[in-house]
Structure 1
Amino acid sequence: MIADEMRERLQALQPTRLEVLDESEQHQGHSGWREGGQTHFRVRIAAPTLGDLSRVERHRLIHRTLGDIVPRIHALAIEASD
């Protein structure tokens, strides 16, 4: 499952809190939705490594950490803190 892959990769940021939520069912019928879900995700992460980064830099780091997962999904909401 994509959510499991995301959790595994995000461990590299040594989070103190991590939630990966599949919100696909909330978007049924919307653009990018497909049967079986795994299209719309929300990541809530707190990690000291994010502390000195701007919001944009945090998002870029998370996208880089997720790597090839990002093109496989339609939407990713990120709530990041240190």
Structure 2
Amino acid sequence: MSAMVEQIRQRLTDALAPVALEVLDEGHKHAGHANAGKGHFHVRIVSSAFAGVLPIKRHRMVYAALEGLMDQGIHALSIDAKAP
């Protein structure tokens, strides 16, 4: 597991106490693109913090938890955020 994946996992765990969390490094899917091979991640997260929250707000919550990492290693992030 890469150091960035571990940092993402830790930040989301601390901020949102997920009941399920998967962080995938998808850099290999972006060959030929700008910043190919680095900084592309997909997050699947299930947290009761998302209950009653619209999807755009859920994404904002994830981005807030990852503040600072977006400029230091995350080039692209796709998010699947759900409530239990």
TM-score, length of structure 2 as denominator length: 0.88
How far apart are residue 39 of structure 1 and its match?
1.1
The superposition leaves residues 50-81 of structure 1 with CA deviations (integer Å, 9 ceiling, x where unpaired) of: 11211110000100001111122210000000
Aligned partners of 1:2 and 1:38 also within 8 Å = no
1:42 shift after superposition:
0.1
| 1:18–1:46 contact (8 Å) kept in structure 2 | yes
Identity of aligned residues (%): 38
Counterpart of 2:45 in structure 1 is 45
RMSD: 1.0
Structure 1 residue ranges, 4+ long, deviating more than 6 angstroms after superposition: none
Q: Are 1:76 and 2:77 matched, yes or no?
A: yes
Long gaps (5+) in structure 2: none
> Across the two proteins, how many residue pairs are aligned to each other?
79
Unaligned runs of 5+ in 1: none
Q: Distance in 1 between matches of 2:21 and 2:40?
A: 17
Q: Structure 1 CA distance, aligned partners of 2:21 and 2:55?
A: 17
